[in-house]
């Protein structure tokens, strides 16, 4: 049996270069020869047109198998085909608070690499918050958690309630919502056009002289869809490296796919999400009113309390869990489905609990094995490099968190 460990890298299906992107030491002038990267990020290779295309071993499997489920199946349709320069420009915009009205809140404040592209909080902090991660304070706490951004390239709807049908729409909502960035497309482009370095970078990425909001959206989408996670120890195991998982993790995989737990029915491999909304009956935090979830944007009563099924990719690195951080640890999240399956909300809410939610009655050892398996889904190869400085001159959002090594199942506490 060949050794498939990290085989995607060995076959050259990922990046052909080091993902170092146009950064500059703090002591240098902001405009000292910065040039956007001409290399594709991890998991991507450049095509004959100079566009970055996603490459994965899953693309070698027949798509016909996907409708029957299983593990060696092709990936669904994805968004790619952006230039390296557009991806790199999106990275700068993602970290830059210049996109917000008061110049204090960036995308990275809620989706930071140190928290596996989330923020480590039960619920996100909106405008006027100070600091990063759990230490943020002073602003308005939002009613929902910040989801991680892994594998957005395969998404069809966005936000916890699925109300946005595209990443462009999702970006516009965040930028214009008063509780978040509280600005407008016009204000964003006026501020960016007033910054000479940004005009230079947008010219490199789009060959235009005037920055438009559509270009801002495209650059952010290019960056966000580059955040791919498909090379965990689990993936190596599926691709043929039998030694990639230990005995406990393999047993946890069996629990995950069992008829008793039915985890894989909603968290469907290889993305470990169905991309759909589901009502599980998670309890409402004491300081919040009941969240109607997908019922609000759809007007469909059967979707009352329904939320997007999150991907389990890098789940061990992204506590707390659920749409409002109701479960501080991964073990507690598992125990919710094991002990109170879908019924933590009072009957008066008249919820239609998803039919896959049942009473698995897992043993303590099975819960531990399942948690160990979920730790084997960790792959943060594509975590973006935090810029040394920003074209706007504003402060780069940073944390002091010490992140455990990628793939370490001991991250589960």
**Which tens digit of pLDDT belongs to each residue from 25-81?**
333 434 545 789 999 999 999 999 999 999 999 999 987 555 545 788 889 999 999
**Which tens digit of pLDDT belongs to each residue from 119-148?**
999 999 888 777 777 777 777 889 999 999
Mean pLDDT along residues 203-226: 97
% of the chain exceeding 90 in pLDDT = 70
- Mean of all residue pLDDT scores within the chain: 87
**Which tens digit of pLDDT belongs to each residue from 248-298?**
999 999 999 998 899 999 999 999 999 999 999 998 998 899 999 999 999
Mean pLDDT along residues 345-358: 79
Least confident among 62-76, 186-200, 325-339, 390-404: 62-76
pTM attached to this predicted model: 0.89
Rounded CA-CA distance 210/131 in Å is 33
Alpha helices (H) along 177-212: 185-193, 196-206
Asked if pLDDT for residue 413 goes beyond 70, the answer is no
Task: Calculate the CA dihedral of residues 209, 214, 218, 221 and round it to 10 degrees.
Answer: 150
Mean pLDDT along residues 104-125: 95
Given the structure tokens 């998991």, which residue do they identify?
43
- For 306, the enclosing helix (H) or strand (E) is strand 306-308
Q: Which residues contact 265 (CB under 8 A, 6 or more apart)?
A: 274, 356
The three-point CA angle 381-382-386 to 5° equals 115
Rounded CA-CA distance 4/243 in Å is 9
Given the structure tokens 């594998």, which residue do they identify?
151
């Amino acid at each position: 049996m060949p050794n498939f460990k990290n085989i995607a890298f060995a076959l050259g299906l990922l990046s052909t270069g080091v993902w170092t992107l146009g950064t500059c030491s703090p002591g240098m002038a902001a405009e000292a020869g910065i040039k956007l990267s001409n290399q594709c990020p991890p998991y991507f290779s450049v095509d004959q047109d100079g566009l970055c295309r996603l490459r994965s071993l899953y693309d070698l499997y027949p798509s016909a198998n996907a409708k029957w489920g299983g593990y060696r199946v092709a990936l669904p349709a994805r968004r790619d085909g952006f230039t390296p320069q557009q991806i790199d420009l999106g990275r700068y915009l993602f970290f830059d608070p210049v996109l917000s009205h008061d110049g204090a809140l960036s995308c990275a404040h809620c989706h930071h690499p140190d928290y596996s592209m989330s923020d480590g909080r039960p619920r996100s902090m909106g405008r006027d918050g100070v600091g990063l991660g759990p230490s943020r304070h002073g602003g308005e706490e939002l009613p929902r958690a910040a989801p991680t951004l892994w594998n957005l390239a395969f998404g069809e709807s966005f936000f916890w309630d699925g109300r946005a049908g595209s990443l462009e729409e999702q970006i516009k909502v965040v930028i214009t919502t008063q509780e978040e960035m509280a600005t407008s497309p016009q204000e964003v482009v006026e501020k960016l056009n007033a910054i000479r370095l940004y005009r230079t970078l947008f010219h490199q990425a789009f060959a235009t002289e005037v920055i438009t909001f559509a270009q801002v959206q495209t650059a952010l989408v290019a960056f966000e869809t580059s955040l791919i996670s498909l090379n965990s120890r689990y993936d190596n195991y599926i691709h043929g490296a039998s030694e990639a998982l230990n005995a406990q993790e393999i047993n946890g995989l069996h629990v995950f796919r069992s008829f008793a737990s039915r985890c894989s029915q909603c968290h469907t491999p290889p993305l470990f999400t169905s991309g759909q909304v589901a009502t599980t009956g998670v309890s409402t935090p004491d300081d919040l009113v009941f969240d109607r979830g997908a019922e609000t944007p759809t007007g469909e009563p059967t979707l009352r309390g329904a939320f997007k099924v999150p991907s389990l990719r890098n789940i061990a690195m992204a506590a707390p869990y659920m749409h409002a951080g109701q479960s501080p640890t991964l073990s507690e999240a598992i125990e919710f489905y094991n002990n109170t399956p879908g019924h933590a909300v009072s009957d008066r809410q008249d919820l239609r609990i998803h039919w896959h939610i049942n009473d698995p009655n897992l043993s303590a050892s099975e819960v531990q094995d399942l948690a160990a398996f979920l730790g084997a889904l960790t792959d943060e190869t594509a975590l973006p490099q935090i810029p040394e400085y920003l074209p706007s001159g504003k402060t780069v959002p940073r944390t002091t968190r010490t992140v455990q090594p990628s793939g370490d199942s001991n991250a589960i506490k």
